[in-house]
Amino acid sequence: MLRDTLKTLLQAYGPTGNEQNVAEAVKVLLASHVDSMQTDAMGNLIVEKYGTDDNAKRIMFAAHMDHIGLVVTSIEDEGYLRVAGLGGISVDRVRARHVIFGNGVQGVVYIEPVEKGTPTLQHAFIDIGAQNKEEAQAMVQLGDVAVYAPDIFNLGKHRVAAPAMDDRCACALLVELLLYAEDQKNTIVGVFTSQEEVGMRGATVAAYHVNPDIGLCLDVTGWGDTPEVKLPAIRLGDGPAIKIMDASMIATPWVRDALFEAAQAAGVQAQREVLLSGGVDGAAMQKTRSGIPTGALSIPCRYLHTACEVIDMRDMEGALKLLLQFVDMV
């Protein structure tokens, strides 16, 4: 079940550069359902399900495993942890948040008062309950990374809120595609990528290695359906969004059009995604070697890079139907 797969992946600790727990969870979910699995030097998990056509195309589907976090930069005499952002994390989103480290140590983020100006992450600290520096050093080390604690809950009938929805929802979608695709014409190369949040580093390496005929990025996109937020023109529950462009890429026109055709054939309502900012793994795929025809399918997501990212499961279900159609159409 898509919802169960999503919950499993949301619970895995996996900040940028430490995605191995997520990869292990994916391996368990896909065991005996795919033809090959390998992990490369960057920590990307590359999974293949072979197509049946003699002239099968290799389609690389990329979904990133990592999510944002706070890396420990120093420990104060009183036992508080000073931190810096790992990925696009901002001070206004971390105040009084429950966080957890990979070893299970938990903490609360707070922001020290500032007399002038606006606080930044330099003013943030994590309270892990240590009474002094020595006690804190026995609990965490410099370079350890805290992430939002995995608080997962339903909003109404169709919506789910959790940290790390960016991009675990797309990882769940890719897992389900690999599970449900049967005797498909083309070869599915599912790449669960690393280090997207710091510059699409995993996808850059993986795309060069895979050298696919077509690239398709699976990620989240912004929202325009809350008070005073009208752009991008994306609404939760109105279907997955097919990317036209963002700040990092312009989708290859024929791949974009094939996604719309697949949506129509599958009876799925799809939205058009036009972003003026942001970047996704698709940009790395598109610029690999001599160029890869690349598109992107996005799940609408509210409150990105917060502890409560929200998606609509109907958009996920529609995306899965679209992708199952797409792998046999191109």
pLDDT in tens, 134-150: 999 999 999 999 999 99
Average pLDDT over residues 272-292: 95
* The two structure tokens encoding residue 304: 């990105």
Q: What is the pLDDT of residue 227?
A: 94
Q: What is the pLDDT of residue 133?
A: 98
Q: What is the pLDDT of residue 287?
A: 97
Q: What is the pLDDT of residue 172?
A: 98
Is the predicted pLDDT of residue 231 greater than 90, yes or no?
A: no
Contact between 196 and 66 (Cβ < 8 Å):
yes
Q: Which residues contact 33 (CB under 8 A, 6 or more apart)?
A: 49, 178, 179
Residues of the chain with pLDDT > 70: what percent?
Answer: 100
Average pLDDT value over all residues in the chain: 97
Is the predicted pLDDT of residue 62 greater than 90, yes or no?
A: yes
Average pLDDT over residues 53-66: 97
**Domains along the sequence of the chain with CATH:** 2-67+164-329 (3.40.630.10), 69-148 (2.40.30.40)
Average pLDDT over residues 10-32: 98
Average pLDDT over residues 207-216: 98
Average pLDDT over residues 255-267: 98
Q: What is the pLDDT of residue 1?
A: 86
Q: Distance between CA atoms of 173 and 326, rounded to whole angstroms?
A: 14
Average pLDDT over residues 305-316: 98
User: Active-site residue numbers?
Assistant: 196
* The two structure tokens encoding residue 113: 């008062």
CA 313 from centre of chain: 16
